[in-house]
Amino acid sequence: MTRTSVCLFLMTLIAGSLSHAAELTEAEFRALHAKLQPDVSAMWRSIPWRATVLSAQQAAAQQQKPIFIWAMDGHPLGCT
Amino acid sequence: MIDRESTFADPGVVELLKTRTIPVAIDQWNQRRQKDSEGEFYRKIARQGPRHDFENGTTQGLYLAAPDGTFLGYTNNRDPRKVRQMLETGFSIYRPGPTAVLNVEKVDARFNAKPPEGGLVVRVCAKVLGGYDEPTTQYEEIFQTALSRDNLWITADEHQTLVSGRFSDSLAQRIALFHLVDNTRGEPPFWKSSEVMARSFTLHDSVITGSVELKTQDGQRSYSAVMRGHITVTDRQITAFDLVVSGTFSGHGPYTGRAPEQPFPLAISFTLADGTDIADTLPPQAGRGWLGDYLK
């Protein structure tokens, strides 16, 4: 499916949603499910994030490197 | 979200983090409260920075610290140039040397929730499909095109109910209350039971269909949507759980401002997690600090 046809299809879905469509068709489900998947090639994903500060400390002590902490309200790897 | 698409989309920042640091990502709401080894070490670092009111205020930001917890730098600016500058300054201060590895001596169970044994973890992603005005800044565009991420936890009983061909009421209610939200611009408000006007989740021949009507009492926030999906069962285990909920959302919460002014299309996908993403290990946002209400 080309980028243009995907856009047209999604616009059709939007129009359908705004008119309170009675159901989601199989084709609409498949298109939306594919569209709503994270980009696995996003650059931030190439960073080897750890999920706890202590596990980072253990690696940092062994490799003698500083710890970089990305601290947010809500988990930065998930949530939003 | 902003950070992923700005700071951590900068090749220079990414290279520095990958080669010269041990990077960790946390929800500091937990670490500043945790009464255990993890919380104590985080607070040791954060206490040396500009944000150290652990009771009342956020400590969010980007920190650099030596392995022994010595503070090396902080910024809450998303500009990659500022972040690179903070890192380079910190690297110039840091003196490598032997440091003791800290052991996990205390664990605060409130902040170390694990997925239910025998249950499932399902990835949940939401996206606003239209309705915004033209973005006027790079950051506005990032918010407008954002895809959110959370996890749905399914208990062992709910898992086996799905296997037997039914959608349990508790699972339907959990999805409605905690996962049919617009979390694309920040932490969302969840729904109250009284705000679930109607919900129908039907599983027939492995196909999920249904609809929901959610609305706050003042009518300021609502979501009216339909759904469709599929499950696959292999040897009494769910091996695929694919679902889309799509409909019209209106309103916003205290931390999800700048929503389209008019009702807008919001779609939410559900996909069984396979453990290949580190985010698969995170507890649901609605369960942070207390899973009791989330899993009931």
Cα(B38)–Cα(B60) distance, integer angstroms? 16
B248, A20: Cβ pair inside 8 Å? Answer: yes
> How many angstroms separate the Cα of A19 from the Cα of each of A16, A56, A61, B269, B279?
5, 50, 58, 20, 35
pLDDT score at A17: 47
Mutate to test the interface with B, among A6, A63, A75 (most CBs of B within 10 A): A75
Can you give the pTM of this predicted structure?
0.87
**Chain B: closest CA distance from residue A2 (Å):** 18
Sign of the alpha-carbon torsion through B5, B134, B190, B56: positive
Question: In 3D, which of B249, B285, B267 has the Cα closest to residue B127?
Answer: B267
Residues in chain B with pLDDT values less than 50:
none
Q: What is the DSSP string of B158-218?
A: HHHHHHTT---HHHHHHHHHHTSS--SSSPPPPPPGGGEEEEEEEEETTEEEEEEEEE-TT
Q: What is the pLDDT of residue B267?
A: 98
Contact across the interface for B101 and A52, Cβ inside 8 Å: no
Give CA–CA dist B130/B144, Å, rounded. 8
Letter for the amino acid at B89?
A: T
Query: How far is it, in rounded angstroms, from Cα B196 to Cα B225?
Result: 12
**Residues facing B229 on adjacent strands:** B208, B243
Cα end-to-end span (Å), chain B: 30
Q: What is the pLDDT of residue A21?
A: 57
Is the pLDDT at A14 greater than 80? The verdict is no
Count Cα neighbours of A29 within 13 Å in the Cβ-side half-sphere: 20
CA A74 to chain centre: 15
On chain B, the residues whose CB falls within 8 A of the CB of A7 are none
Does residue B22 contact residue A62 with C-beta atoms inside 8 Å? Answer: no
Q: Which residue stretches of B23-129 are H helix? A: 28-31, 37-46, 80-93
> How many Cα neighbours within 13 Å face the side chain of B46?
29
CA distances from B7 to A78, B85, B89, B127 (A): 17, 12, 17, 21
Q: Could you give the ipTM of this predicted complex?
A: 0.89
Dihedral, B208, A33, A41, A66 alpha carbons, nearest 10: -50
Q: Given this model, what pLDDT does residue A2 score? A: 46
Distance, in Å, from the CA atom of B194 to the CA atom of B44, rounded to the nearest integer, reads 42
Can you give the pLDDT at residue B52?
A: 86
CB contact B124 to A (< 8 Å) = no
Q: What is the pLDDT of residue A19?
A: 42
Q: Check B187 against A73: CB less than 8 A apart.
A: yes
Given a cut of 60, whether residue A12 has pLDDT beyond it is no
Residue B97 and residue A65: Cα distance in Å, rounded? Answer: 9
pLDDT in tens, A39-73: 889 999 999 999 999 999 999 999 999 999 999 98
Q: Which residue has the higher pLDDT, A23 or B217?
A: B217
- A55/B281 Cα distance (integer angstroms): 14
